[in-house]
Amino acid sequence: MAVLPDLSVDIGGLKLKNPVITASGTFGYGTELTPFFDPSLLGAIIVKGLSLKPIPGNPPPRIAETPCGLLNAIGLANIGIQAFIEEKLPMLTKIEAPVITNIYGHTVKEYADLAKKIEKVEGIAAIEINISCPNVEKGGMAFGTDPDTAAMVTGQVVSNTTKPVVVKLTPNVTDITTIARAVESAGAQAISVTNAILGMAVDVTTRRPKLANIVGGLSGPAIKPIALYLVHKVVAAVRIPVIGLGGIMDYRDALEFLLVGARAIQVGTANFVNPKTAIEIVHGLTDFCSREKISNINQIIGGLKTI
Amino acid sequence: MAVLPDLSVDIGGLKLKNPVITASGTFGYGTELTPFFDPSLLGAIIVKGLSLKPIPGNPPPRIAETPCGLLNAIGLANIGIQAFIEEKLPMLTKIEAPVITNIYGHTVKEYADLAKKIEKVEGIAAIEINISCPNVEKGGMAFGTDPDTAAMVTGQVVSNTTKPVVVKLTPNVTDITTIARAVESAGAQAISVTNAILGMAVDVTTRRPKLANIVGGLSGPAIKPIALYLVHKVVAAVRIPVIGLGGIMDYRDALEFLLVGARAIQVGTANFVNPKTAIEIVHGLTDFCSREKISNINQIIGGLKTI
Amino acid sequence: MVEETVALKSNQQIGTNIWLMEFRSTLLASHAKPGQFLMVHLGERTKDPLLRRPFSIHGIQDGDKVMILYNVVGAGTSLLSALKEHDIISVIGPLGNGFTLPRPSEKAILVGGGTGLAPLFFLAQVLQKDQRNTVTLFLGFPTSQEVVRIQQLKDLGVNLSLTTEDGSLGIKGVVTDLLDQRLSNKGTTKPVIYACGPPPMLKTVAQKATTLSLRSYVSLEGYMACGLGICLGCAVKAAHGETKPYYYVCQDGPVFPSGMIDWEVL
Amino acid sequence: MVEETVALKSNQQIGTNIWLMEFRSTLLASHAKPGQFLMVHLGERTKDPLLRRPFSIHGIQDGDKVMILYNVVGAGTSLLSALKEHDIISVIGPLGNGFTLPRPSEKAILVGGGTGLAPLFFLAQVLQKDQRNTVTLFLGFPTSQEVVRIQQLKDLGVNLSLTTEDGSLGIKGVVTDLLDQRLSNKGTTKPVIYACGPPPMLKTVAQKATTLSLRSYVSLEGYMACGLGICLGCAVKAAHGETKPYYYVCQDGPVFPSGMIDWEVL
Ligand SMILES: Cc1cc2nc3c(=O)[nH]c(=O)nc-3n(C[C@H](O)[C@H](O)[C@H](O)COP(=O)(O)OP(=O)(O)OC[C@H]3O[C@@H](n4cnc5c(N)ncnc54)[C@H](O)[C@@H]3O)c2cc1C
Ligand SMILES: Cc1cc2nc3c(=O)[nH]c(=O)nc-3n(C[C@H](O)[C@H](O)[C@H](O)COP(=O)(O)OP(=O)(O)OC[C@H]3O[C@@H](n4cnc5c(N)ncnc54)[C@H](O)[C@@H]3O)c2cc1C
Ligand SMILES: Cc1cc2nc3c(=O)[nH]c(=O)nc-3n(C[C@H](O)[C@H](O)[C@H](O)COP(=O)(O)O)c2cc1C
Ligand SMILES: Cc1cc2nc3c(=O)[nH]c(=O)nc-3n(C[C@H](O)[C@H](O)[C@H](O)COP(=O)(O)O)c2cc1C
Ligand code: FES
Ligand code: FES
């Protein structure tokens, strides 16, 4: 029998056995989908975005479906970093895949405090910073829309941890490359592109917004072309690895992101539609490489032919 | 029998008998779809984007389908303003709906020259400025991504015409309200939101971009939630009328845009799927108003309930 | 909880916009409890609509036949209704908590509005099998056009009463009228109420139950993206004094003791 | 050009991934010319895939029966293949220019690769009805599995030869081998060539035609969004020296004299 292709990738010092990661907020606290497959088989797991204090989240309705997409305004509901470490992490450490915590704060200091807390904890392999949330000190514009603020958040986290730091960018900017370069300069080991895109929907019968929060984040296949373009741009702008996500539903979608240069990919909304998506992508990439006689996945990454 | 509801709206001095307009680049030069319905029944018609000189357009493939969306990189192919005036306009003037020309230039001066040319022509009711195209003098960033450049283009067109000027914004910006306010201050009589969103797609079999141009504009239902959110924001930011578009496929989609405050709507990609979409939306709005006992469409505009 | 790919045994229209779908699954049939639900995939051919749709388990028959009773209300259910015998779908389940069954001493009153009948049929199946107490079932529909599954319910031996809003079948009125009437009848032991239907109906039931200090369970239909507890999309506001600000319909429910829910904002 | 909503008369699999769809439309049947195409809507239940799909008119029978022969290659054709008798679809057509028929004195050679057969069947129908000259039809397929509609073509009375790449039916090789052979046969009058199939095959045909100064028409399959001349999506590069830089397949074609196309970039 043929030798299995090598799917392992290196994300800023973090070694993954394959490039398939579950996206924050779409995989619970990491163990909920074990009835469907063993998460140890994934490249890594990113858990629900965590804040210093527990957050109840937004009033319902929190979700609305749009053509090939999902709008959500969960309001970053989470149990808080402390409860996560005490109640969820012990179960997670049994999983033989790196666990990445996704964090967000309302102020730069909150990000720093989260980094300090996580630094002391074993069993967390890396930190992903969500900078798509409103900066309460700066009038509510997202941290990730301004290069200086993005760099400041990144710098504060990097200087308070020895773990690899991934910065997850917001797509809602004029030029994503300026933000990407800013966080790279500030010490990020990798960049995730993209978070959900701002959107809204209206129920014409009730004449109300479909989300109680009015505005939400759009994810799912609808945004795939936009996400792919942003990844393509960021890959060209920075040297650090880029993790691609946005609308990935199967291994062919994953390949699109790898071809434009993503070193790994994340599966988000697809987990809701088919909870086995992530593991099926691992299998799909393995089969694809075998079929195409590709011994190492790195041969595909950035392999887009443009001439 | 009941009196028909009044669907007429006023867009910066331009009176439309109903709020349904066909979007630039999706309705040809205005008469191609007459086998399907009489365009005189529409609120207005916006023709294919015109430049000073004819433009052959991009090499194929120019289009690619994405989940609930269409990527296009037509390359603004058009016959040029002169040929349009000589060959197409005579046929168009027989249509009893205002004809709006959509224009774009590579430099600010080209926009001004186009405005001068159009000013002399009868049968053109208004000008829509496409500012989503690359500014060759400023390194290729789109005119519409910078408030000053957007204002400069708007000002040049406004000062060279007595016709109402509509500025069509690009969605690819961090804060669309700053651009909206800039073009309003520069004298625009109305604003269209939104043009297509930058995106790309890859054919994993050939490992090539699906568009020869690599990058294209995403349109269709996939972008509707994003477009709706942008319209919602712009409506709150300016006093001039806003025309909403992006993914409108039927009268219910149109109602979503009217409810968030769009004074009129445009139908783009939907024309390709069902060439009768625009007229069906006119009928759909009429029936809706009759059913809901709404005598004037202005009672719906901005009628979103948020508390 | 399993994901299974099943071939439809049948999928038929049985009322105005109402369809009954049947497939065989020993696994689901043997594990399912009344009040639990399934997340049904709409088919591999399209990504629009994107998400699975939640449906109550309507009943189990012949040991392995699982039934879903559904209303065609939008794009997703319209796609489902186009499926034919032998077509393949993926279902995930059984999900959620299910109804807490009455104690042997208690009488159960089931109250259903429209397709709220869906999970109550299964509950009636199970309770009638127990043969401890005859189940009382009150069902309300807009018109006789929407009335379905009556013969099958009668076959179960339940004590059935009907209302229609236009009076075209059964008693003219809404289903909570029947409940009112029954509860004003002080003679009998305190019943446990099981309700499923539109939110205003559930609210009325909850209020009556509170007033009369009755135990009552309501099955809610929140918007769901995953059904698996991972999206946190299906929040409902918990009643004042509960330990959590929100409950999640797919995990903490879909069945709730009516006192747990904040009915002001539902 | 009309938009018509039609009920399917049949939609059947007739080969590996190949289906034949039939519906009645007096309007389309009476106006359609060989080489023209239809834009077929994929149904109201979903927006994914979004766009209509272009298909050649495969033939007209019994005065009003319109046929489409299609290959299931992706999501859109997969959706189409799930449609059953009586299902309703919207079609727009007839679109495009169609084949320029041969002069009475000319012999026609039709060359089809795979489902390139689709429009050639209709062309053969029309030419055979003329009875002026027996039509020669060369068809190539990967294997015998993809070979369809042979009996019907024989019934038309065409002079048919087949190739398969694996030799499982007809002559082993590609369809342009047959053309080579026929054209090396100098005796006869100059034929007009009509070709439809994958671009490399069309390119070979075009080159042979140029070399031998033969008139040849190719039917192209560009990516189309509208099929109506309004999106400018279906551009193909015109040959050097043509008056336009690009032709539009839906308007200027889908049939082109092979000399009009720049084959270097196709
Ligand atoms: C736990 C649970 C069990 C359910 N059991 C059944 C059942 O047994 N039979 C049945 O017919 N239906 C049941 N439903 C409701 C069913 O899931 C929805 O009717 C269905 O998802 C609608 O899909 P659609 O695409 O056809 O409609 P959409 O196009 O999504 O929506 C059509 C209309 O229905 C409303 N709607 C959609 N989803 C929901 C929802 N989850 N709750 C309330 N309103 C909604 C929308 O606002 C819209 O007005 C259940 C829902 C839940 C959460
Ligand atoms: C004028 C015209 C006439 C046609 N007539 C027929 C016909 O009679 N029978 C038939 O089977 N097909 C015909 N085609 C091709 C047919 O339109 C495509 O196969 C169909 O649109 C594919 O849809 P899909 O959603 O199944 O595949 P998609 O998922 O869209 O694509 C599947 C694969 O097919 C390729 N593809 C898709 N569309 C085209 C296209 N237009 N040209 C080339 N490659 C494409 C894609 O790159 C992809 O690799 C015709 C095309 C044109 C333009
Ligand atoms: C319900 C939901 C919750 C999410 N929560 C978070 C979060 O807590 N932190 C974060 O960085 N991203 C969050 N996201 C964004 C996703 O991680 C991802 O960036 C986005 O959905 C795009 O990917 P997709 O299209 O594959 O879903 C959430 C997305 C969804 C749909
Ligand atoms: C094929 C195509 C060509 C277009 N050409 C133009 C154009 O010339 N000028 C312009 O301002 N917008 C152009 N657009 C953008 C549309 O007018 C519209 O803004 C966009 O498609 C979003 O609307 P929709 O989702 O309804 O299509 C084009 C869009 C498409 C799909
Ligand atoms: S539906 Fe996702 S958590 Fe309940
Ligand atoms: S397909 Fe739209 S112009 Fe040809």
Return residues 10-69 of A near D (CB < 8 Å).
67-68
Residue B202 has pLDDT above 80, yes or no: yes
Distance of CA D110 to the CA centre of its chain: 10
Which pLDDT score is estimated for D134? 80
Measured between alpha carbons, how far is B52 from B83 in angstroms, rounded to an integer? Answer: 10
Query: Is residue B4 in a domain?
Result: no
Measured between alpha carbons, how far is C32 from D104 in angstroms, rounded to an integer? Answer: 74
- Model confidence at B244, pLDDT cuts 50, 70, 90, reads very high
Which pLDDT score is estimated for C188? 66
Measured between alpha carbons, how far is B124 from A57 in angstroms, rounded to an integer? Answer: 52
Residues 6 or more apart in contact with residue B45 via CB below 8 angstroms: B21, B22, B27, B30, B39, B92, B95, B97, B98, B99, B100
Q: Which two tokens stand for residue B63?
A: 């289009």
Chain C residues with beta carbon closer than 8 angstroms to that of A69: 50
Annotated catalytic residue, options A44, A76, A133, A281: A133
Query: Whose CA is closest to atom 28 on ligand 3?
Result: A25
How many helices (H) and strands (E) chain A has is answered by 9, 16
- DSSP assignment letter at D32: -
- DSSP assignment letter at C115: G
Q: Which two tokens stand for residue C33?
A: 């409890």
pLDDT tens column, D140-195:
999 999 999 999 999 999 999 999 999 999 999 999 999 988 888 776 678 999 99
Which pLDDT score is estimated for C45? 87
pLDDT tens column, C213-225:
999 999 998 889 9
Residues 6 or more apart in contact with residue A118 via CB below 8 angstroms: A81, A101, A103, A124, A127, A161, A163
Distance of CA C71 to the CA centre of its chain: 12
Residue C185 has pLDDT above 80, yes or no: no
Query: Is residue A19 in a domain?
Result: yes
Measured between alpha carbons, how far is C126 from C158 in angstroms, rounded to an integer? Answer: 11
Averaged pLDDT for residues A11-27: 97
Q: Is the dihedral of CA D1, D3, D9, D15 positive or negative?
A: positive
Average pLDDT, chain C: 94
CATH of the domain at B80: 3.20.20.70
Annotated catalytic residue, options B133, B228, B289, B300: B133
Across chain C, where does the E strand assignment appear? Answer: 2-15, 18-24, 37-40, 53-56, 59-61, 65-71, 88-95, 107-113, 136-141, 159-164, 171-172, 191-196, 216-219, 235-237, 246-248, 255-257
- Model confidence at B2, pLDDT cuts 50, 70, 90, reads low
Say which CATH class C222-266 falls into. mainly beta
Mutate to test the interface with A, among B138, B214, B229 (most CBs of A within 10 A): B229
- Model confidence at A133, pLDDT cuts 50, 70, 90, reads confident
pLDDT tens column, C134-175:
899 999 999 999 999 999 999 999 999 999 999 999 999 999
What CATH code is assigned to C107-219? Answer: 3.40.50.80
Residue B120 has pLDDT above 80, yes or no: yes
Which pTM value belongs to this model? 0.97
User: So what's the ipTM on this one?
Assistant: 0.97
- The DSSP line for C12-49 is EEEETTEEEEEEE-HHHHHH--TT-EEEE---TT--SS
Which pLDDT score is estimated for D266? 79
Residues lining ligand 2, judged by CB closer than 6 Å?
A: D 37, 49, 53-56, 69-71, 73-77, 115, 118, 221-224, 254
Average pLDDT, chain B: 96
User: Is A77's CB within 8 Å of C92's CB?
Assistant: no
Averaged pLDDT for residues D233-245: 94
Residue B112 has pLDDT above 60, yes or no: yes
Mutation test of ligand 5: which of C230, C246, C247 has the most ligand atoms closer than 8 Å to its C-beta? Answer: C230
User: Is B274's CB within 8 Å of D90's CB?
Assistant: yes
- Total domain count, chain B: 1
Residues 6 or more apart in contact with residue A233 via CB below 8 angstroms: A176, A177
- Model confidence at A140, pLDDT cuts 50, 70, 90, reads confident
Please say whether the structural domain C2-95 has been given the CATH code 2.40.30.10.
yes
Measured between alpha carbons, how far is D15 from D19 in angstroms, rounded to an integer? Answer: 7
Residue A236 has pLDDT above 70, yes or no: yes
Q: Which of B136-140, C97-101, C209-213: highest mean pLDDT?
A: C97-101
Whether chain A has a CB inside 8 Å of the CB on D44: the answer is: no
Residue D89 has pLDDT above 70, yes or no: yes
Cα of B206 to nearest chain A Cα, Å:
8
Which pLDDT score is estimated for B75? 94
Provide the residue ranges of all domains of chain D, joining segments of one domain with +.
Answer: 2-95, 107-219, 222-266
Mutation test of ligand 3: which of A20, A26, A46, A271 has the most ligand atoms closer than 8 Å to its C-beta? Answer: A26
Q: In which domain, by residue range, is B94 found?
A: 9-60+71-197+216-299
- Tell me whether residue B133 is one of the annotated catalytic residues: yes
Residues lining ligand 4, judged by CB closer than 6 Å?
A: B 23-26, 48-49, 70, 72, 74, 76, 102, 130, 168, 195-196, 219-220, 223, 245-248, 268-270; D 231, 233
Residue C29 has pLDDT above 90, yes or no: yes
Cis before B269 (ω within 30): no
User: Is C79's CB within 8 Å of D45's CB?
Assistant: yes
Which pLDDT score is estimated for B100? 98
Chain C residues with beta carbon closer than 8 angstroms to that of A26: 230-231
Query: Which helix (DSSP H) or strand (DSSP E) does residue D162 occupy?
Result: strand D159-164
Q: Is the CB of D51 under 6 A from ligand 6?
A: no
Which pLDDT score is estimated for A136? 76
Which pLDDT score is estimated for D42? 93
Measured between alpha carbons, how far is B80 from B153 in angstroms, rounded to an integer? Answer: 19
- Of all residues in chain A, the percent with pLDDT exceeding 70 is 99
User: Is C232's CB within 8 Å of A70's CB?
Assistant: no
Average pLDDT, chain D: 93
Measured between alpha carbons, how far is B254 from B267 in angstroms, rounded to an integer? Answer: 9
Which pLDDT score is estimated for C187? 67
Averaged pLDDT for residues B271-288: 98
